[in-house]
Amino acid sequence: MSDEKDLGSNFRYEVNLFFTGREKLQIENNNKGENQMIERIFISHSSIDKDYAECLVRLLTDMKVNDDIIFCSSVKGYGVPLGEDFLEYIKNTLNENSLVLFVLSERFYHSKICLCEMGAAWVKTNKHIPIIVPPFKFKDIEGVIVGKQGLEINVNEDINELKNEIEKILGIAPLNINIWEKRRNEYLKKINELISKEIQQDSRTIIQSNIDYKRLVFKLIRNNNNKGISTHEIYKILNKEYDVDKYGIEILDIYNVLEDLENKEKIRGIRCDGVKYEDIPWRAVI
């Protein structure tokens, strides 16, 4: 089986966790026990929402949560160690002693990686808190965490409640009220600035969504036909020229484009043993 098929199968399996065997998996998860000590706080988010995730990391440390129990892939020092496989590390990190904070937005549900994380977290962990980023709403929540009590990322009372919950489950001494209010207000100011900026940029995504990525990918491959060009290089160029990561286009979306072009025999990948899929050189079939 090719690396490409392996990758697709892994993601299809994770995403299918939402739709098959829910009742059985939920029963198994509930039997793990609700009163186990939390050893890890895992922030699940779209890479496009990394600024929100970084604010949450800062908020947690302001609550006196130890750095070494916080995992956030987008914040340097809190993510996957160098040399580790991303998906394998996530699977090995999540367990019944993990608290998962889901940072929910439209970008989250458009991300295959986020859906994989949600599926894995639902199966392997007991404690989940949805955190919605406006203009996303509670009614927009889908998947296995529907019905979970959540909070809004920019609501004063909700952030106070999150602090109380974190202190309770980790056994942290309550922060001095004056210090906490100052830090919370700084956090809320930054979050509301991010939300305002995002609303102003929303209209630009309409223009970006009209770009024909399939045509651009094929053109890049054809123009580099002598030496070939890898998936990673294609994504890097598209991101530099079009800021694709800001508009929900991830490297996994490029995989899908390449698969379609290969199935139509417009391109071919030069596969070698030991070469990761993202490093396989692609050439146009002329």
> Which candidate in 117, 152, 198, 250 is catalytic?
117
Instruction: Quickly list H helices, 50-176.
Output: 50-62, 86-93, 106-109, 112-124, 156-170
Q: 117 catalytic, yes or no?
A: yes
Separation of alpha carbons 25 and 23, rounded Å? 6
Residues contacting 167, CB < 8 A, separation 6+? 63, 173, 174, 175
Closest to 78 (Cα-Cα) out of 120, 21, 40: 40
**Tokens linked to 17:** 């966790």
d(CA 26, CA 258): 36
CA–CA distance, 123 with 24 (Å, rounded to integer):
10
Q: Collapse the DSSP code of 71 into the 3-class scheme (helix H, G, I; strand E, B; otherwise coil) and give the result.
A: strand
Active site residues: 117
